[in-house]
Amino acid sequence: GENVEQHPSTLSVQEGDSAVIKCTYSDSASNYFPWYKQELGKGPQLIIDIRSNVGEKKDQRIAVTLNKTAKHFSLHITETQPEDSAVYFCAASSPRRGDYKLSFGAGTTVTVRA
C-alpha cells in the first residue's frame, strides 16, 4: 500500500521566516495530495491540496509543490506568524486502491518564535 513519510517531525522558526515541510510517497499512481493543519485540541483543517496534473499551487502565504518523478511534495509557509504554530499533516491518495482513503504522514510540529 501507499507509504507517506514526513520530515521534519519538529520545526522551530523565527516569526517572519519561512517554513518548509517535505513528504515522500511510495505509490507512483498517487494523484491527490492534501495538507492539514491541526491546532491543539481541534480537528485537522484542510489548508491546501494539489493534484498530480499540477506542479505548484499557492494560496496567500502557503504553497505546495509536487515532484512526481521524485515522488515528493512540500508545503511552504512564508512570512510565518505565531498563529501558524500547529501540527501539519501531509497525505496522499492513490486510485490504485480502488477507494478514496488517504495515507497520512506522521505530522510536523511547527513552532513560530515571536
DSSP state string for 23-66 = EEES-TT--EEEEEEE-TTS--EEEEEEETT-SEEEETTEEEEE
Residue 13 forms beta bridges with which residues?
A: 112
Region near another protein per CB under 8 A, out of 20-28, 52-60, 74-82, 96-104: 96-104
Nearest in space to 34 (alpha carbons), one of 59, 15, 9: 59
Of 55-63, 64-72, 78-86, 97-105, the window that binds another protein (rule: CB under 8 A) is 97-105
64, 46 in Cβ contact below 8 A? Answer: no
69, 98, 99, 114: residue in contact with another protein (rule CB under 8 A)? 99
The binding track of 1-30 with respect to another protein, each residue x by CB under 8 A or -, is ------------------------------
Least distance to another protein from the beta carbon of 49, Å?
7
Smallest Cα–Cα separation from 93: which of 22, 8, 25?
25
Q: Can you give the binding site for another protein, defined by CB under 8 A?
A: 32, 34, 36, 41-46, 49, 89, 93, 99-102, 104-107
